[in-house]
Structure 1
Amino acid sequence: MMFDAIGIAGTGLAVHRKWLDSVADNLANVNTATSTDGEAFRAKYVVAQAGEENGVYVRGIEQGDAQGRIVHEPDHPLADGEGNVRYPDIDLSEQMGSLVMAQRGYQVNAAVVDRARDSYQAALQIGRGQ
C-alpha cells in the first residue's frame, strides 16, 4: 500500500516537473520578438492523462499559435518595413497561475512520498520491536 502511494505520487512528481519546465520556458520567452516573416515562439502546454493502472503521465505537449501577436515597434532591430515585430501570444497572468498550480502539485506529491516513506520506516521500527 505504501509503495503504491510512492509510485502514484512519483508519477505526479514527473508530470508536475514537466509542467513547471514548460511554464518556465513560456515565461522565459514571453518577450521574445521575431520578424513578421517568421514564426513567433510557440508556448508549450503539457497534456496529462490518467494511467491505465495508477498514477498519471504526460500524454504530450501541445504548442501555442505560431502567428503570435503583431506589435508596432518601429525602433526594434527586427521591425519590418511597416515597423512591426512578432511576439508570442502568451498570457503572462495565465502562465503565473499555471506556475503556482504546478508548484503546489509538485509540493503535494513530494509530501506524499515523504509521508509514505516515514510510515514505512515507522513500520520497520515496530517490526524490530523498538
Structure 2
Amino acid sequence: MTTFGAIGIASTGLTVYRKWLDAVSDNLANMSTATSTTEDAYQAKYVIAQEIATQDGGGVQVAGIALGDAEGRMVYEPENPLADEAGYVRYPDVDMSSQMTQLIMAQRGYQANAAVVDRAKATYEAALQIGRN
C-alpha cells in the first residue's frame, strides 16, 4: 500500500466516524423531545458501516442508517400540553449512557484515523526531503 493509499483508507474512516458522530449528536439532541401518544417518538439513528474491498486496500463506507423503535416510552406528565386524556406523553427510547459511550468510541475512531492521515503526510514529506538531498 502506498502513502496515498493509507491517506485514502483513513479518509474513508474519517467519513464513517463523522457520520456516526452526527447520528449520536442527533440522538442526544432529541432524547427529551416529547410527542403526543398518537404520534411516533423520535427514532434513534444508528450508522451501518461496510467494508470497501479493492485491490488497493479498500476502506469503509456508510451502508445506511438504521432507525430505533418509534414506539418510544410513555411518561406520565399530565401538565404537558401534549399529554393525552390519561396524562401520558411519548418520549424517544434513547439511553444517554449508551449514546455517550458511542460518542466516545466514535470520537476515538475519528482521532485515530486523523492521526493516520497526519503520519502518512509526514512520511510523504520526509520521502520528498530524501529525494531533494
Pick the TM interval, shorter chain. Answer: over 0.9
> 3-state DSSP class of the match of 1:39?
coil
The amino acid of 1:76's aligned partner reads N
> 3-state DSSP class of the match of 1:24?
helix
Aligned partner of 2:94 in structure 1 is 90
CA distance in 2, matches of 1:77, 1:110: 46
Deviation at residue 52 of structure 1 after TM alignment: 2.0
Deviation at residue 90 of structure 1 after TM alignment: 0.6
Counting only pairs closer than 5 Å after superposition, residues 37-76 of structure 1 correspond to structure 2 as 37-53=38-54, 54-76=58-80
1:110 lines up with 2:111 in the alignment: no
Q: Give the number of aligned pairs.
A: 129
The amino acid of 2:91's aligned partner reads Y
Aligned partner of 2:82 in structure 1 is 78
Percent identity of equivalent pairs: 65
The amino acid of 1:94's aligned partner reads S
The amino acid of 1:40's aligned partner reads A
> 3-state DSSP class of the match of 2:80?
coil
Unaligned runs of 5+ in 2: none
Give the 4+ runs in structure 1 shifted more than 6 A. Answer: none
CA distance in 1, matches of 2:53, 2:119: 25
**Cα distance per residue 1:63-118 (max 9 Å; x no partner):** 00111000011011110000000000011110000000000000000000000001
Q: CA RMSD in A?
A: 0.5
The amino acid of 1:2's aligned partner reads T
> 3-state DSSP class of the match of 2:20?
helix
TM-score by length of 2: 0.96
